[in-house]
Chain A
Amino acid sequence: MTIHDLLAVLPEAIVTLVAIVVLVIDAGVGERRARPWLPWVTIVGLAIALASQSWAPAGGTFFGGFVVVDDFSRFFRLLFIVLAAFTVLVAPPYLRREEVSAGEFYATVLFSTIGAMTIALATDLITLFVGIELMSIPVYVLAGLQRRDRYANEASLKYFLLGAFSTAILLYGFAWLFGISGSTDLAKIAAAVRTAGLGSPAVVVALALVTTGLGFKAAVVPFHQWTPDAYEGAPTPSTAFMSVAPKAAAFAAILRVMATALGPIQLDWALVFAILAVITMTTGNIVALVQTNVKRMLAYSSIAHTGYILAAVAATAAGASAGAAVLFYVFAYGIMNLGAFACLELLDLEGTRGATLDELNGLWSRHAAGATAFTIFLVNLTGIPPTVGFLAKFLVFQPVIDAGFTWLAVAIALNAAAAAFYYLRVVVHMFMYDAEAAAPKVEPARVLSWSLGIASIATIVLGILPDPIYSFAVRAAGPILTK
């Protein structure tokens, strides 16, 4: 280990430090006095972590091949830091209202972020495994942070038990990959897989185990059932974070493992992924249609979005454009979905419960900025131009068609058309119906409103001027998917 190795992971080290500092301040100064300051400490720390990349070595492998710094890992560093900062900005009103410990929340978000960043750095199964667990375990905690709430208990327990179960499955898959290749290095595994081919039963077993384990993290049907329950029961700021960062990290892991280690047998899993994508998006959308609780509806919607992203993964035969589509979609999805959940934090509801459609009635007249931001996020999720959500969906089409899955493109288009119904239904309730007498109180939080406003405008700006992020995504996909 050299100083270069340490500098290479400087952003991760700084985030770790910030998490510890947050915990220390929280314990030392006391909950009440620390509360107003902690979000800003966290955000400044995250900003420093992002900026510190410029001191890091240009790129390459470090720690004897355990860690790689390339555009791919830089892209995800940016994404995870943005998501963590956004989460922290919008959380305080809810945390105060529900008396959730602020220090614990921010520190746990940061720990999970480190895990997610580690996943993007991994070119080795060990790093990958540590990253996945470092990301997942804090998220189980986040789901149950509102300890006295029965729904939060249920959410976190379900998430934890199924998460541990799926991790064990994934890990067993890793063991088989090791058994095939005798190495934990993804490139060496790829070489062994190429020699063995699918004819080897060990490869079949490993492929199925890994698909299942990673599919769980990304909420692919039929491994998705934890999603609605965990998202609905978790405190809303936790839901906002766990609906985006772990999913983005899961796709980082999927790209690393499927495209690198299992890339040689891409033809064998691509069709399965394409079918899973269709099942996933269709199930998510159809069940979302019949939901009346908006939080749960958004949970199903996030499953549908997994399907769209998975479609691009299935199309990795098309080369870098598929990888870029995944990365761009994950980025767009991160902002718009986090934003949509964060809008629910505006409403003062009992416990962790999300608003029902009727409780959103007339939100426009009661909190115009919030309703407008929510509308923009929903329009993004629908995929209506000129938002970034539209562009993300559109960019999936090209690789999918190039890879020969025209039917998959048709299925995406059909799903997107139908999904608009439940997204815009929320808009209808906010704008067209009068508020009910027992409508929930609206939080007058300024930072929350401003953050939502800026993020919602950012989604439009990114839709109109996507190039900075899209070229970054294209560059980032290069190391993974150059043929």
Chain B
Amino acid sequence: MTLVPLPAFIAVSATLFFIGVAGVLVRRNAVVILMSVELMLNATNLAFVAFSRRLAVAGERGSVFVVFVFVVAAAEVAVGLAIILAAYRNRPTVDVDQLDEMKG
């Protein structure tokens, strides 16, 4: 059984990353933007794991890194949702385009 080559993983990772970036750029819903960011983080995780497993020089640090990313991302989401919720209480919308009172 042949292994899936490393570039394939990287291609998938890059695709995920760009989908995430595009999501951040085009979506207006704060929660969806947050989900797009998570997609970018997962693209990163995929890259880390792939590099870690397939690069001859690489050790297990890549996989360790992924664990840290999981934990930190969870914290980030928790804080993020709290912030979105606090904003929602004062102004019931999740459309970030309407958050434009400060500009210039």
Q: Do chains A and B touch in the complex (CB under 8 A)?
A: yes
List the interface of chain A (C-beta within 8 A of B). 125-126, 129-130, 133, 137, 140-141, 144, 147-151, 153-158, 160-161, 164-165, 167-169, 171-172, 174-176, 178-179, 181-184, 228-229, 232-233, 296
Q: Taking CB as reference atom, which chain B residue is nearest A124?
A: B61
Partner of A148, one of B62, B64, B82, B90: B90
* Partner among B43, B47, B83, B102 whose Cβ is within 8 Å of the Cβ of A232: B102
Residues from chain A with Cβ under 8 Å of B68 in the complex: 126, 129-130
Q: CA separation between A164 and B75, bound complex, in Å?
A: 11
User: Across the interface, which residues of A come within 8 angstroms of B52, CB to CB?
Assistant: 178
Name which residue of chain B comes closest to A154, CB basis.
B99
Chain B residues with CB below 8 A from A178, complex form: 47-48, 51-52, 58, 61-62, 65
Q: Does B84 contact A (CB under 8 A)?
A: yes
Question: How far does the Cβ of B100 sit from chain A's closest Cβ, in whole Å?
Answer: 8
What are some 20 contacts across the A-B interface (CB < 8 A)?
A: A133-B75, A140-B80, A141-B79, A147-B89, A150-B90, A157-B84, A165-B24, A165-B33, A168-B20, A171-B40, A171-B41, A175-B44, A178-B48, A178-B52, A178-B58, A178-B61, A179-B10, A181-B57, A183-B57, A229-B103
Are B86 and A147 within 8 A (Cβ)? yes
Task: Give Cα distance in the complex from A147 to B43, angstroms.
Answer: 33
Residues of B with C-beta under 8 A to A229 = 102-103
Nearest Cβ distance between residue A150 and chain B, in whole angstroms? 5
Interface band, chain B: 35 or more
Partner of B83, one of A126, A144, A171: A144
Residues of A within 8 A of B57 (CB): 181-183
CB-contact partner of B96 in A150, A157, A174, under 8 A: A157
Per the bound structure, the CA–CA distance linking A84 and B91 in Å amounts to 32
Interface contacts beyond A141-B82, A161-B37: sample of 14 additional A-B pairs, CB < 8 Å, sorted by A: A126-B61, A129-B68, A137-B75, A141-B79, A153-B86, A153-B87, A156-B83, A164-B80, A167-B76, A172-B40, A175-B44, A178-B51, A184-B61, A229-B102
Closest approach, in angstroms, between the C-beta of A217 and any C-beta of chain B?
Answer: 15
Cβ of B75: which chain A residues have Cβ within 8 Å of it?
133, 137
Q: Mark B1-38, 1 if CB is under 8 A from A, else 0.
A: 00000000010010001001000100000100110010
B65:A129 contact, CB within 8 angstroms: yes
> A151 contacts which of B10, B61, B84, B101 (Cβ < 8 Å)?
B101
Nearest-neighbour CB distance to chain B for A33, whole angstroms, equals: 26
Residues of B within 8 A of A129 (CB): 65, 68-69, 72
B90 CB contacts on chain A under 8 angstroms: 148-150, 153
Given A137-B75, A141-B79, A176-B47, CB of A184 within 8 Å of CB of B65:
yes
CA distance A167 to B82 in the complex (A): 19
Nearest to B57 among chain A residues (CB) is: A182
Knowing A150-B91, A182-B57, A183-B57, say if A172 contacts B44 (CB, 8 Å): yes
- Which single residue of chain B is at the shortest CB-CB distance from A175? B47
Contacts A137-B75, A137-B76; A182 near B58 (Cβ below 8 A): yes
| B103 to chain A: closest residue by CB | A229
> A150 contacts which chain B residues (CB < 8 A)?
90-91, 101
The minimal Cβ–Cβ distance linking B85 to chain A, given in whole angstroms, is: 10
In the bound complex, CA of A148 to CA of B56 (Å): 54
Contact A153 B103 (CB under 8 A): no
Checking B33, B43, B44, B83 against A140 with a beta-carbon cut-off of 8 angstroms, the contacting residue is: B83
**Complex Cα–Cα for A175 and B43 (A):** 10
B96–chain A nearest beta-carbon distance, Å: 7
A405 to B89, CA, bound (A): 51
Q: A164-B80, A184-B61 are in contact. Are A175 and B87 (CB under 8 A)?
A: no
Chain B, Cβ-Cβ closest to A158: B99
CB neighbours (8 Å) of B37 from chain A are: 161, 164-165, 168
List chain B residues, Cβ under 8 A from A148.
90
What is the distance, in angstroms, from A208's C-beta to the closest C-beta of chain B? 13
**Which of the listed residues B20, B65, B68 has the most CB atoms from chain A within 10 Å of its own CB?**
B65
Minimum CB–CB distance from A351 to chain B (whole Å) comes to 11
Which residues in A have their C-beta under 8 angstroms from that of B34? 161, 164
Shortest distance between the CB of A71 and any CB in chain B (Å): 27
Known: A232-B102, A233-B102. A160 touches B83 (CB 8 A): yes
- Interface pair B33/A161, CB less than 8 Å apart: yes
Smallest beta-carbon distance B16→chain A, Å = 10
- Known contacts A178-B51, A184-B65; is A154 also within 8 Å of B101 by CB? yes
Please name all residues of chain B whose beta carbon is closer than 8 Å to the beta carbon of A164 when the two chains form the complex.
34, 37, 76, 80
Q: In the bound complex, what is the Cα–Cα distance between A176 and B44 (angstroms)?
A: 9
Find chain B residues with CB under 8 A from A144 CB. 83, 86-87
Interface hub of B52, B64, B72, B102 (most chain A Cβ within 10 A)? B102
Bound-state Cα–Cα, A179 to B69, Å: 16
Asked whether A161 lies within 8 Å of B102 as measured between CB atoms, the reply is: no
